Amino acid sequence: MKREHKKDMWGFYFEQLVQSIPFFLKGLWMTVALSGLSLVAGTVVGFAWGIIRAGKGKVLKRIIGAWVDLIRGTPFLVQVFIAFFILPEAGIQLEAFPAAVIALTNLSACFICEIVVGGIQAIPSGQREAATASGLSSYHQLRHIVLPQAMRIILPPLVGQYVLLIKDSSVVSAIGVTDVTRVGWLTVQRIPEGIMVFGLVGILYFVICYPLIRLSNSMEKRMTVVTTRL
């Protein structure tokens, strides 16, 4: 009798969950928008930092290196709290969404910076010397010689980084951005079936992240084949 009751409740909750799917899709859209914005901004900033860090300016290099280390050494949750609670004390009042975008952009920029530095440093120095000997300016060296070759090394981990970014974006639910995780958290207060609710949340993330992981893996395989052929 009790078992049947439980089964009944399960059906009821399932129906409730199906009814709140639009709510989840809204959360999914928030996750996509949040990670999309930070992805574009983080890539631009990360490439800029990476190119500076692989270059000659000593002071800038040190500053960026120290900053990257600080960000890599602290949990993203703490960074989000700092952006959300401490920047207002410094006079920068931020809503939850822009604070989240700034924290995510900064985080991905730091990791992309490291990837770009690794890619640029993997290019043999003879290439640069040859370019200098041919009279290319340092901008043209970067644009036509170094970056096109480095891209092959940079791209696979870059896509992997995007997956991490999408997953990390779940953390900003802690400051009240209604992304998929937050929607799950709100829903579970109403529908006390954690497995069902967060199973759905997991599926939604899986649908976005899994293809990207596969893409990164296949790129990695293709790129290594190309390099070994060289």
Nearest Cα neighbor of 169 from 20, 48, 39 is: 39
Nearest Cα neighbor of 102 from 52, 175, 155 is: 175
Chain positions 91 to 150 lying near another protein, rule: CB under 8 A, are: none
DSSP E strands: which ranges in 56-214?
none
174 binds another protein (CB under 8 A): yes
Shortest Cβ 19–another protein spacing (Å): 19
24 binds another protein (CB under 8 A): no
| Residues in contact with 67: Cβ distance below 8 Å, sequence separation at least 6, in sequence order | 110
74 binds another protein (CB under 8 A): yes
How far from each other are the two terminal CA atoms of the chain, in whole angstroms? 71
Interacting residue with another protein among 100, 113, 142, 197 (CB under 8 A): 197
CB burial of residue 110 (10 Å; 0-12, 13-18, 19+) = buried
161 binds another protein (CB under 8 A): no
186 binds another protein (CB under 8 A): no
Q: How many residues bind another protein (CB under 8 A)?
A: 41
Shortest Cβ 206–another protein spacing (Å): 5
216 binds another protein (CB under 8 A): no
| Integer Cα distance of 24 and 14 in angstroms | 14
34 binds another protein (CB under 8 A): no
| Integer Cα distance of 118 and 136 in angstroms | 23
**Site residues, another protein (CB under 8 A):** 70, 72-78, 81-82, 85-86, 89, 163, 166-171, 173-174, 180-181, 184-185, 188, 192-195, 197-199, 201-202, 205-206, 209-210, 213
